[in-house]
Amino acid sequence: MLLVMLPVRNHLHHRIIITMSQKRKLLPAALGLLSLASLSVAAADALSLQGKTIGVAVVGTQHFWDREAFKGATEEVEKLGGKVIGVDGGRDNQVHANNHDILLSRKVDAVISILGDSAVEPKFKALRDAGIPVFTVDHVSQYSVNNTTSDNYTLGSTIGRYMADELGGKGNVAVFNAFSSALRICGIRYDQWKYVLKDYPDIHIIQPELAEQFANSPEDARKKTLELLSQYPKGKLDAIHVACWDQPAIGIVQALEETGRDKDVKVTAIDAGPETLEIMGGARQPVRG
């Protein structure tokens, strides 16, 4: 896994700090394990999924990384000669879980499951009981043969240290943290970020924490940030952190620019989709909600 820190100023000299994990590059390794584990009938030096049908289930494709993970898994299966049955949960964890029933009924040879919460566990068990191996991406499960994941411990702790350095070890920080309880990867990232901040007693996390919606998260985060800024005038808020991903940061920056707070409030986040990178690079004005 490649971990890259990307501190870049945008066109209004507002700093967004993003930690980006290149998890997609690990998908071929997981698929190699899939082939070696139970499916490949080719020689040891020539991996093949010829004649095999692989189910690829993704929690949703609205987010850049989710789309790329789904695309990477699908393309690799096809490259190895396999047939893909893809199912998209529309970013609904229960729909994502139920989609595994479709793959079970289609009697696929194996399943690659990308993300999801605990709702998928009984589905994984049913697949395993039917002799269908499950390979997960960013979801640890006792029923999974292999889990391909980013180093979420390093992601969380690194962004915590980076933010603390940017603040000079003191300040008031608000955090968007909607998913740490439901998604293990988000929980790890948040917990490690918060753990690092224990070494900085002069950095205070504002309560209550903010919870972003997944659907149209930039606009949702923009509105919630505007409300936050009205409660914490200049000098009372020094940074806003997005604990698990990057999309809310787009709306946060919009709110800061609208209120003229873009020079005194820093923003940190994890992941780096194209829209966020454009803001960081100053290629265009942020999309207005």
CATH top class, domain 151-281: alpha beta
The span from the CA of 140 to the CA of 148, in Å, is 9
Helix (H) or strand (E) holding 129: helix 121-129
- C-alpha to C-alpha distance for 200 and 164, rounded to whole angstroms: 7
pLDDT value for 137: 96
Distance CA(55)–CA(89), nearest Å, equals 13
Residues of the chain with CATH 3.40.50.2300: 24-148, 151-281
Residue 150: the pLDDT is: 87
Strand order in the sheet with 3-9: 3-9, 15-21, 266-270, 239-242, 171-176, 203-205
Over residues 209-234, mean pLDDT: 94
Helix, strand, coil: what percent of the chain each, to 5? 40, 20, 35
Q: Which fold has domain 24-148?
A: Rossmann fold (3.40.50)
Give me the pLDDT at residue 175, please. 98
**Are the CB atoms for 147 and 29 separated by under 8 Å?**
no
- Is the pLDDT at 3 greater than 80, yes or no? no
Structure confidence at residue 38 as a pLDDT band (50, 70, 90): low
Helix (H) or strand (E) holding 5: strand 3-9
Q: Tell me the C-alpha distance between 255 and 244, whole Å.
A: 20
Mean pLDDT of 163-173: 97
Q: What is the pLDDT of residues 56-110, one digit of tens each?
A: 999 999 888 899 999 999 999 999 999 999 999 998 899 999 999 999 999 999 9
Mean pLDDT of 161-180: 96
Among 125, 158, 165, 162, which Cα is nearest to 144's? 125
Over the chain, what is the mean pLDDT? 84
9, pLDDT greater than 70: no
